[in-house]
């Protein structure tokens, strides 16, 4: 039997899922703007950006769904003759390893997609290698969950570095995105500790990252217009 560890403190269970749902909305907004941009300009880069953000949103969606079932399992009652059985629906809990793996691989692939877009690496062999290592990391993370967070830290650090090098943060929206990446990276560092008190801080940092992404999105969508 697999024993699961819930890092979230009891008072915070459910609140973290709300944070994640907020993140999903933000990532979907960005993904659909990237899709719109692809339709207007027929650009491959925006298409890959759409896919990357969609993967990250999908990862959070699966994670939030799993966590909710974990924190608040639905109780069911069954009557067999004179017997009255009461049990918690643990189908989702039992398949935790698989659900975690899917959520992790989606998140890592999303980050790998962003890494390739920002570094402008067009070497197809590198893509193959990174996807291969992503799969390996996901598999090993089932036994050593720290590896998943460590990989995220490395990928987010690389993304932040290349983003800074490329954009030089000339626009306010670029500063927002940079801060968002850094907050996400710091949150992953805190997740690495697997301690309840750091879990709350990590989730708050993640929420701050989502807010920065949303502000950057709003600056682009509502703040730019031609002079009429």
Partner 1 sequence: MKTKHKRTQEEILYDILLIILNKSGRIKRTQLMTKANLSYKLMKNYLEDLVKKEYVDFVKRNEQKYLIITDKGRDFLDNLIKVKCFKETMGLE
Q: Where does this chain bind partner 1 (CB under 8 A)?
A: 33-34, 36-37, 40-43, 45-46, 49, 117-118, 162-163, 166-167, 171, 173-174, 177, 216, 219-221, 224-228
SS3 96: helix
125's tokens: 């062999």
CA 195, CA 162: separation in Å to the nearest integer?
A: 31
CA 100, 101, 105, 106 torsion: positive or negative? negative
CB of 107 to partner 1, least distance (A): 18
Nearer to partner 1, 128 or 161 (CB): 161
The strand ranges marked E within 23-144 are 75-80, 83-88
CB of 13 to partner 1, least distance (A): 34
Which structure tokens are listed for 124? Answer: 């197809």
The CB-of-202 to partner 1 minimum distance in angstroms stands at: 24
Q: Which is nearer to partner 1, 114 or 207 (by Cβ)?
A: 114
Nearest residue (CB) to partner 1, 77 versus 123: 123
Minimum gap (Å) between residue 9 Cβ and partner 1:
35
Q: Which two tokens stand for residue 103?
A: 């959520």
C-alpha Rg value of the chain to the nearest Å:
20
**Contact in structure between 205 and 156 (CB atoms under 8 Å):** no
Residue 17 or residue 215: which is nearer to partner 1 going by CB?
Answer: 215
């Amino acid at each position: 039997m697999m024993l699961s560890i819930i890092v979230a403190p009891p008072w915070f269970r459910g609140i973290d899922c709300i944070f994640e749902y907020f993140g999903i909305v933000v990532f979907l907004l960005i993904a659909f703007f990237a899709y719109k941009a692809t339709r207007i300009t027929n650009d491959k880069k925006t298409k890959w950006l759409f896919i990357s953000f969609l993967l990250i949103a999908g990862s959070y969606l699966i994670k939030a769904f799993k966590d909710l079932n974990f924190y608040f399992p639905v109780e069911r009652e069954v009557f067999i003759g004179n017997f009255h059985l009461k049990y918690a629906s643990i189908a989702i809990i039992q398949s935790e390893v698989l659900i975690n793996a899917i959520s992790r691989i989606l998140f890592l692939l999303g980050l790998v997609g962003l890494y390739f877009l920002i570094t402008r690496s067009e070497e197809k062999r590198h893509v193959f290698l990174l996807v291969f290592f992503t799969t390996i990391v996901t598999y090993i993370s089932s036994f050593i969950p720290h590896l998943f967070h460590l990989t995220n830290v490395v990928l987010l650090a690389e993304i932040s570095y290349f983003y800074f090098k490329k954009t030089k943060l000339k626009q306010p929206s670029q500063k927002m995105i940079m801060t968002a990446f850094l907050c996400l990276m710091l949150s992953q560092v805190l997740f690495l500790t697997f301690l309840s008190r750091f879990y709350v801080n990590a989730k708050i940092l993640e929420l701050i990252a989502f807010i920065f992404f949303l502000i950057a999105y709003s600056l682009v969508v509502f703040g730019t217009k031609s002079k009429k």
